[in-house]
Amino acid sequence: MKASLYEYPLSELCRLFRSMRGTLDYVEDEIEALEVPREIKGQVLAVCASLGSAILHASGNAEEIAEGSNSLLAASCVAPEVKSSSLMATIDLIETTLFKELEAMDRLVRRLKTEKEANGAYFLVLTHGADLLQMYDQGRDLLEGMRRGLLQSDGIGAVLKALKFSAHKHRDQRRKDAEASPYINHPIEMAEILACVGGMADVIILQGAILHDTLEDTQTTPEELEAEFGPEVRQLVEEVSDDKRLPKEDRKRLQIEHAPHLSIRAKQIKIVDKICNIQDVTHSPPQSWTWKRRQEYLDWTERVVAGCRGSNQRLEEYYDGKLREGRQILARQG
């Protein structure tokens, strides 16, 4: 069960590793072409080779698990806690190995900065070292999500607790769709898409999706959320909540402006929220909404999601499909 749950995050890791390897190849080619002392070239190439080896090893570990070829994970006779222990060890190994090598690259950048003849090499390694660090941060978020999922053996209970809390808070609310469906249907649908389409097994993001409108649309306070679900969930819900004290147009503008700066989890929640809303606006719009307003809403979601891209390829592709479908339906109705 756990191997299949983490298949998607691990495949995303493999994609990141390939991107990191491509960046390293570029740095190695460029340093050879630069007119810098041979000693400096040697330092850069040595660090690149060491990091490249670490990436290759980490990628191999991730692919083993993703493809189900790891014997401990594949064997049905192995107890769940042993499978979890094996996966946890692999997660820790990937993270610590890559971090150690990126620290070596950081030390190289600081050393090159002090050498007058190394200007070209300094800017090359500084620029692409930053790209590598950003990729590592994305990978670390994926690893952390898997680690947290493994550590929380009561993950299903935690999700159900969030569902019960959200259902109570939204108990008197209805969606704006034509059927005025119960509001709780919306966060349930979001959590389902995160898990079934996005491959998310991270309890924190599932709880965040279920609770994402409680601060914005109910009397729930941040302190209450933290007391019930902890600081990470509270922070995530705050991150995706609008300030209802602001005019609606300001809130919509801020969603676009803030999207690129959200955490990976928050970006995925935003994408899924827009997926669900597009489906409602397309198939069951509020009775008062004109064709033009529905079209403008779809266009606005596209601008918000543009700032969330790079967080989950499956969700992004699913959003793109729903947006195309929505525009085709509106085109026929226009």
Residues designated catalytic: 216-217
Bridge partners, residue 174, by sequence: 182
Contact 282, 325 (CB under 8 A): yes
CA 49 to chain CA centroid, nearest Å: 29
Residue 52: name the closest of 143, 145, 144, 128 by CA. Answer: 128
Contact 73, 83 (CB under 8 A): yes
Residues near 267 by beta carbon (within 8 Å), at least 6 away in sequence: 259, 307, 308, 310, 311, 312
Residue 105 CB-density burial (10 A; 0-12 exposed, 13-18 middle, 19+ buried): buried
Cα separation of 163 and 215, whole Å?
15
CA 135 to chain CA centroid, nearest Å: 12
Residues near 330 by beta carbon (within 8 Å), at least 6 away in sequence: 282, 291, 294, 295, 298
DSSP per residue over 144-208, as a string? HHHHHHHH-TTHHHHHHHHHHHHHHHTTT-B-SSTT--BTTHHHHHHHHHHHHTS----HHHHHH
The helix (run of H) or strand (run of E) holding residue 274 is helix 264-283
Query: Which phi and psi (to 5°) does residue 326 adopt?
Result: -60, -40
Say whether 142 sits in a helix, a strand or coil.
Answer: helix
